Amino acid sequence: MFSRSSLLHLRIPFSFFLLPIYFFALTVSPNFNGSRLLWVFLIVHFLLYPASNGYNSYFDKDEKSIGGLKNPPPTSKGLYHLALLLDLAAIVFGYLQINLTFAIMLLIYGLVSKAYSHPSVRLKKRPFISLIITGLFQGFFTFIMIYVGVNDYEIENAMRLNIIIPAFLASLMLWANYPMTQIYQHEEDSKRGDITASIKFGIKGTFYFAAIVFGLALTAFLFYFRIYLSTKHALLFIAAVLPILIYFFYWFLLVINDKKNADYSHTMALNYISGTCLNAFFLYLFLDVSHVYQLAS
């Protein structure tokens, strides 16, 4: 169960790319404390996400590069059991350290992630349904789940416009990015019969789709910052996403010249740039709007 192969397939470092959702949810959280901040972070990023990654890897059995693993080793039944164990641990710790609502949301996320991969449902075979559901659950649902967890709230406390709007913005950003993570896997996915959104769009179409949705997301974020925060935060957000846009269009030019450039290395480079820039911005935003650093002084 705890073999090197199984541990690699958990792809724990890959959680870095979803960490902006956590920091973004903190920016609207009024009732957090240090213990809940830590427990929610550990449960989501070291139990829930790795469980989902491992479960997905077990049923995909990829032979070529996947997100976070350039050369994935063969999977075993131990990986399946480890993924279920981590899911169970997430739910138990979520209930014991936070509350029942948070634990139920962890359970729902785990079930949806299993529906994405399991052969009996295999949402991954349904390109646009999987696009919508993945963006919705990794963005909106996770944002609400983190908000509930770090504030020790019930779900009704999150059903307010100033929480729902940023939660939806998180999904909008993920809908732009999700097909880009599939762009180098067309051959592998097609071999399994998985027709992903990126396959439907085609390589260039995936770039066009991402550019359009990212443009909508950027515009929506700027309106959000102007209305709920300040022009300063809107300008800083533009500065934060500028390196992402520069690399995206640079990579697109490479792909126009040769489609072989739609590969794992360029995909991961875009992920690392966007993950670094967005994590830095949302961490700064959390510290700036919460003034949490003053509590430590």
Q: Are 72 and 63 in contact (CB under 8 A)?
A: yes
pLDDT at 297: 47
pLDDT at 294: 54
CA atoms within 13 A on the CB side of 205: 7
Element (H, E) at 139: none
Average per-residue pLDDT for the chain: 91
The 10s digit of each residue's pLDDT in 195-205 is 889 999 999 99
Chain-centroid distance of CA 108 in Å reads 16
Delimit the domains of the chain by residue range: 4-296
Cα dist from 188 to 60, 65, 153, whole Å: 10, 9, 42
pLDDT at 106: 97
CA atoms within 13 A on the CB side of 65: 16
- Find the mean pLDDT for residues 227-252: 96
- Find the mean pLDDT for residues 134-157: 96
The 10s digit of each residue's pLDDT in 243-295 is 999 999 999 999 999 999 999 999 999 999 999 999 999 999 999 998 765 55
- Tell which residue, 291, 280, 297, has the closest CA to residue 23: 280
- Provide the β-strand partners of residue 69: 66
In this prediction the pTM is 0.94
pLDDT at 1: 60
The 10s digit of each residue's pLDDT in 54-107 is 998 888 777 676 766 777 788 888 889 999 999 999 999 999 999 999 999 999
pLDDT at 293: 58
Number of neighbours of residue 109 by Cβ within 10 angstroms: 23
Residue 72's contacts (CB-CB under 8 Å, 6 or more residues apart) are 8, 9, 57, 62, 63, 64, 65, 66
Q: Is the pLDDT of residue 296 over 60?
A: no
Question: What is the SS3 assignment for 237?
Answer: helix
pLDDT at 24: 97
Taking phi over 0 as left and psi of -120 to 50 as alpha, with beta for the rest, 39 belongs to alpha
- Tell which residue, 215, 184, 214, has the closest CA to residue 199: 184
Q: Is the pLDDT of residue 32 over 90?
A: no
